Amino acid sequence: MRAPVKAVIAAAAVAVLGAACSSPQTSAGDELMVFAAASLKSTFTDLGARFEKDNPGTTVRFNFAGSSDLVAQLTQGAPADVFASADSANMTKAVDGGLVSGEPVAFAANTLIIVTPPGNPSRVATFADLARPGIQVVICAPQVPCGAATDKVEKATGVSLTPVSEESSVTDVLGKITSGQADAGLVYVTDAKGAGDKVTSVAFPDAARAVNVYPIAVLNQARSRSAAKRFVDLVTGSRGRDVLVAAGFAEP
């Protein structure tokens, strides 16, 4: 009976050793969950595909939503490895809540722009035009980064908007415009660029008073800190910067 037992033990040891020697940086079947601001959907989907190519066996999954919603989900225990916010305020909430490992890194910046249905039928030309009687305006809710930026512009200009809708993410605002449900909306430059000819964009100088800086961080609950850090490094490195700049993001 001893010989077979020794043989089984030896075989198991060889199998474990072989697996250890052949394992890549991230083992087969690993999954990286990234919580990211809705305005990052296009760029992060691209970067996620690049990460998977560089890390065979790893699947990158995303949860795109308003940054405030993402923080609420994380606070309630939603599993995630990386968090990328559209502003520093929501990242600060995550840090103060003990969710973040290490220091967040700023990787991009974004500003607001007015979007209208194609051709700008309401002839919106300035931020003040959004307050004209009869103009149906859609903006982000105050707790969402794009909403907080809108509030800053309102205070800086003295122009008070009366929106017909306050959305939970910038992509929802864009959707209201592309579907013809409103005359104008406030979104990020990157969202307007991504929408192409589905909207007409109207830049306004006061947007410079409310620039949003995007930070990213590894989360304390990350299942693989090393994989999460590699994703952060991709986003903040030269390849990530190229993708972000091409989408219209500015450097922080």
Burial class (CB in 10 A: 0-12, 13-18, 19+), 4: exposed
Please name the amino acid found at residue 126. Answer: T
The mean pLDDT of 172-189, rounded to a whole number, is: 97
Domain layout of the chain by residue ranges: 2-109+213-246, 112-209
CA distance 25 to 166: 44
The mean pLDDT of 164-170, rounded to a whole number, is: 96
Its pTM stands at 0.84
Contact 211, 71 (CB under 8 A): no
> Which range, of 20-24, 95-99, 145-149, 209-213, averages the lowest pLDDT?
20-24
What percentage of the chain has pLDDT greater than the value 90? 88
- Assigned CATH topology for domain 2-109+213-246: D-Maltodextrin-Binding Protein; domain 2 (3.40.190)
Per-residue pLDDT, 30: 87
Run of H or E including 82: strand 82-84
The mean pLDDT of 115-144, rounded to a whole number, is: 97
214 known member of a binding site: no
Label residues 193-205 b or e (16+ Cβ within 10 Å = b).
Answer: bbbeeebbbbebe
Per-residue pLDDT, 243: 98
Please name the amino acid found at residue 176. Answer: K
Per-residue pLDDT, 29: 53
Does 201 score more than 70 pLDDT? yes
Per CATH, the architecture of 112-209 is what?
3-Layer(aba) Sandwich (3.40)
Per-residue pLDDT, 19: 38
Contact 216, 105 (CB under 8 A): yes
170 known member of a binding site: yes
* Full DSSP string of 138-201: EEE-TTSHHHHHHHHHHHHHTPPP--SEEESSHHHHHHHHHTTS-SEEEEEHHHHHHHGGGSEE
Are 2-109+213-246 and 112-209 equal in CATH topology? Answer: yes
188 known member of a binding site: yes
When pLDDT is cut at 50, 70 and 90, the band that residue 2 belongs to is very low
Give the list of residues 6+ apart from residue 242 with CB closer than 8 angstroms, or none.
none
Does 99 score more than 60 pLDDT? yes
